[in-house]
Amino acid sequence: MNHERSRAIFSEAQRLMPGGVNSPARAFGGVGGEPIVIERGAGARLWDVDGNRYIDYVGSWGPLIFGHAHPRVVEAVVAAARRGTSFGAPTPGENELARLIIEAVPSIEKVRLVSSGTEATMSAIRLARGYTGREAIVKFAGNYHGHVDSLLVAAGSSAATLGTPDSPGVTTGASRDTLVLQYNDVSGLQEAFQAHGQRIAGVIFEPIVGNMGVVIPTPEFLTALRHLTQQHGALLICDEVMTGFRVTYGGAQQRLGIQPDLTTLGKIVGGGLPVGAYGGRADIMDRILPAGKVFQAGTLSGNPLATAAGCAMLTLLRDEPPYERLEQLSARLERGLKEAATAAGVAHQVARAGSMVTLFFSTEPVHDWPSASRCDTQRFGRWFWQMLERGNYLPCSQFEAMFVSAAHTETDIDDTVATAREAFASL
């Protein structure tokens, strides 16, 4: 494939923006080389500025569950834009989107709309601290909750060791009240509550992890999370920015039978536009200004264009649920990748939760960050480029999920599997 125009545009971008991108996830740092520059998308396809066409398994990192430029979503945004792009005042669309979210997610009684998943998690953590009057937050290594200072934290040496900053610019003060544990580690969670239970305001976690690749929680881990937080008066915060409305309409918490106190949402709830949300029990949510004293505000929160896209997306999901089809397509992709890798003698693990799929270049099952970190990332990078050059746009990191959309077809999946077979053989 020719990438001449992409290279020229990215070269200019590097002079204009740090690293040439507005988010490091786009920089191809996990696979080497330079990113391609996208011109347009339709359904399950992307076209770059050089005219190359790809089957897309990124879907804007998850939001586009019906594929690119779905007519209902596009029409809703255009109609909203004609009425005005922003008012900084209440609009009917805010009520409609809030109502759709509350009806879909049983644990949410009230919801606050924001503009990003990061803003949602940041606000939920502040609310947990304000509600409980405590300071410490538990998170898990390999779970990503946005670029919130207190969550950009490296793990300590034991369950009783508080985290240390994991990025320049994050102060020790911002991270001192964050406790980092290993995902799926029940004993570590028990030890943390034994040592810090009276200080822990909340536990935030991905109910199905997508940010170290797809990792599934064990039933014992989920039970321990709910039991220990209730026992010690801490809040359980379910980060469904990625899984909300993706793995089923009510999110991973519905699929897994979880009842959190707070939930954070993003991606799909915005229909491809910038929207985040956090919600939960009414008595907790009523602590937020102006009902309560916990401060959170945003000029563009509940933006008319974003709420229009979100309402169109959630209404589509409710009225024309794609989940059975997504399950069939994703199982077909999972099975095909396993067979292709096995035939080529490539050590691998394939993890899937609904329409989220990760191919790990690993000899062992991946159940936490230490096991994920032992994957062969260099081999993944070579495979990624072989797939890209053959017309498949995959996440540019071993530690991300592929997203199947309702716009994909069986032929798309079969073509990708055939391509994967060639790419494995080339390794």
Among the listed residues 183, 267, 368, 393, the single catalytic one is 267
Residue that finishes a domain, picked among 253, 287, 319: 319
Do 394 and 310 lie in a common domain?
Answer: no
Say which CATH number the domain at 108 has: 3.40.640.10
Among the listed residues 56, 239, 376, 412, the single catalytic one is 239
Residue that finishes a domain, picked among 319, 352, 371: 319
Q: How far apart are CA 165 and CA 163, in angstroms?
A: 7
Do 413 and 358 lie in a common domain?
Answer: yes
* Residue 376 near residue 38 (C-beta atoms within 8 A): no
- Size of the chain in residues: 427
Which uninterrupted H or E stretch holds 305? helix 304-319
Q: How far apart are CA 328 and CA 246, in angstroms?
A: 14
Q: What is the pLDDT of residue 12?
A: 97
User: Tokens 């508080």 sit at which residue?
Assistant: 162
Do 171 and 22 lie in a common domain?
Answer: no
Do 106 and 193 lie in a common domain?
Answer: yes
Among the listed residues 54, 57, 144, 393, the single catalytic one is 144
Q: How far apart are CA 68 and CA 272, in angstroms?
A: 9
Active site residue 166: no
Long-range contacts of 169-176 (CB under 8 A, 24+ apart): 174/149, 174/150, 175/149, 175/150
Residue that finishes a domain, picked among 319, 341, 376: 319
Do 230 and 349 lie in a common domain?
Answer: no
Do 285 and 355 lie in a common domain?
Answer: no
Structural domains counted in the chain: 2
Do 105 and 247 lie in a common domain?
Answer: yes
Active site residue 338: no
Do 141 and 272 lie in a common domain?
Answer: yes
Do 190 and 269 lie in a common domain?
Answer: yes
Active site residue 267: yes
Do 92 and 228 lie in a common domain?
Answer: yes
Q: What is the pLDDT of residue 129?
A: 97
Residue 2: burial class (beta carbons within 10 Å; 0-12, 13-18, 19+): exposed
Say which CATH number the domain at 361 has: 3.90.1150.10
Beta strands in 106-156 (DSSP E): 110-114, 136-141, 153-154
Do 98 and 19 lie in a common domain?
Answer: no
The secondary structure of the chain in percent helix, strand, coil, rounded to multiples of 5, reads 40, 20, 40
Host domain of residue 80:
71-319
Do 366 and 308 lie in a common domain?
Answer: no
Cβ neighbours of residue 225 under 8 Å, at least 6 residues apart?
189, 203, 205, 236
Question: Would you give per-residue pLDDT tens digits along the chain (427 residues)?
Answer: 999 999 999 999 999 999 999 998 899 989 999 999 999 999 999 999 999 999 999 999 999 999 999 999 999 999 999 999 999 999 999 999 999 999 999 999 999 999 999 999 999 999 999 999 999 999 999 999 998 888 887 643 333 344 556 778 877 777 788 999 999 999 999 999 999 999 999 999 999 999 999 999 999 999 999 999 999 999 999 999 999 999 999 999 999 999 999 999 999 999 999 999 999 999 999 999 999 999 999 999 999 999 999 999 999 999 999 999 999 999 999 999 999 999 999 999 999 999 999 999 999 999 999 999 999 999 999 999 999 999 999 999 999 999 999 999 999 999 999 999 999 999 8
